[in-house]
């Protein structure tokens, strides 16, 4: 891969932060450590507590801009940061996650190579609170791949002109899935999400994460997305219904498996004392 020169397009890295005292410095440092040099780093303090604000003040001299606002949610914080960004390309980065140093350089290489690409993501190392880690490989693709599942991570890179074209992130969506809904709007009229086939992103799967809270109310969020984009789903009605039925069937099958497994374990525990007693009598 050819090295992208310093006078190439500016990439604005926007990092919203809300009370991420523990991880924000690592996140900011991963932005500053990018091998692609023509960047600016914008940090948006979305109403953090005093301890987090102290850390943000400490990192402020190393970044391009620190924006402070009352807590308004991640979508608003992202939009505020992107609105003030000077870059042609926007990389949004959650404040508890971090990229490998060569992500921007490799992502921009494919942007400049293929005009059909609207968003670039990559494979990720998932980091769990218990120390376990595993690799996740999103598929990316076109709108048909994004109608039912989000096939990209929340931290991705895209063109600012596309963010402007679709009106930015939906600020009503404060409970999660706002990334997915944004991607739907970006690619629903054409283009694709490209996945770099390398692990260049580190994504924390925390017990108290927005994603986990969103999954707890996923049907409410799905209803919002399906209703907002009802014309899209109407135009793909057959595949939409088939997908829902397949998803329901899979969930029911898994539920039956779990029930049978639970019944087996309970039955084994109940019967075990009787087996011991029977052996004792012999």
Long-range contacts of 220-224 (CB under 8 A, 24+ apart): 220/175, 221/173, 221/175, 221/176, 221/177, 222/177, 224/173, 224/177, 224/181
Say if 254 falls within a structural domain. no
Q: Is residue 241 part of a domain?
A: no
With respect to residue 256, please indicate whether it lies within any of the assigned structural domains: no
pLDDT for 28: 98
State the CATH number of the domain containing residue 106.
Answer: 3.90.550.10
Q: What is the pLDDT of residue 273?
A: 59
pLDDT at 281: 52
Q: What integer pLDDT is reported at residue 258 of this predicted model?
A: 75
What is the overall mean pLDDT for the chain? 90
The percentage of residues in the chain with a pLDDT greater than 70, rounded to a whole number, is 86
Residue 45 lies in a domain: yes
Backbone CA torsion sign across 233, 234, 238, 242: positive
pLDDT of residue 269: 64
In this predicted structure, what is the pLDDT of residue 207? 73
The 3-state secondary structure of the chain reads CCCCCCCCCCEEEEEEECCCCCCHHHHHHHHHCCCCCCEEEEEEEECCCHHHHHHHHHHHHHCCEEEEECCCCHHHHHHHHHHCCCCCEEEECCCCCEECCCHHHHHHHHHHHCCCEEEEEEEEEEEECCCCEEEECCCCECHHHHCCCCCCCCCCEEEHHHHHHHCCCCCCCCCCCHHHHHHHHHHCCCCEEEEEEEEEEEEEECCCCHHHHHHHCHHHHHHHHHHHCHHHHHHCHHHHHHHHHHHHHHHHHHHHHHHHHHHHHHHHHHHHHHHHHHHHHC
In the prediction, which pLDDT does 244 show?
83
Domain presence at residue 57: yes
pLDDT at 247: 80
| Residue 63 falls inside a structural domain | yes
Is residue 2 included in any domain, yes or no? no
pLDDT of residue 17: 97
Q: Is residue 110 part of a domain?
A: yes
User: How many separate domains does the chain show?
Assistant: 1
Domain encompassing residue 92: 11-235
Confidence (pLDDT) at 16:
98
- What's the pLDDT score for residue 233? 94
129: which 2 tokens? 């609170």
Residues of the chain with pLDDT under 50: none
């Amino acid at each position: 891969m050819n090295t992208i020169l310093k006078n190439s397009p500016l990439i604005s890295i926007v990092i919203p932060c809300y009370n991420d005292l523990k991880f924000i410095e690592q996140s900011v440092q991963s932005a500053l450590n990018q091998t692609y040099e023509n960047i600016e780093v914008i940090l948006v303090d979305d109403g953090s507590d005093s301890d987090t604000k102290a850390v943000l003040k400490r990192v402020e001299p190393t970044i391009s801009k620190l924006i402070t606002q009352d807590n308004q949610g991640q979508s608003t914080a992202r939009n505020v940061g992107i609105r003030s960004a000077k870059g042609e390309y926007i990389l949004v980065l959650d404040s508890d996650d971090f990229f490998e140093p060569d992500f921007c350089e490799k992502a921009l290489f494919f942007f400049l190579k293929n005009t059909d690409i609207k968003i670039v993501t990559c494979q990720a190392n998932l980091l769990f609170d218990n120390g376990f880690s595993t690799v996740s490989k999103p598929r990316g693709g076109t709108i048909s791949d994004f109608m039912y599942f989000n096939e990209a991570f929340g931290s991705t890179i895209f063109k600012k002109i596309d963010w402007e074209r679709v009106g930015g992130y939906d600020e009503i969506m404060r409970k999660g899935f706002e990334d997915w809904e944004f991607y739907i709007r970006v690619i629903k009229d054409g283009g694709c999400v490209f996945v770099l086939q390398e692990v260049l992103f580190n994504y924390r799967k925390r017990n108290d994460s927005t994603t986990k809270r969103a999954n707890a109310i996923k049907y409410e969020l799905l209803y919002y997305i399906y209703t907002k984009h009802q014309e899209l789903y109407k135009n793909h009605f057959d595949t939409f219904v088939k997908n829902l039925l397949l998803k329901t069937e899979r969930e029911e099958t898994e539920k039956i498996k779990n029930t049978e497994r639970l019944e087996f374990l309970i039955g084994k525990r109940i019967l075990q004392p009787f087996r011991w007693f029977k052996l004792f009598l012999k």
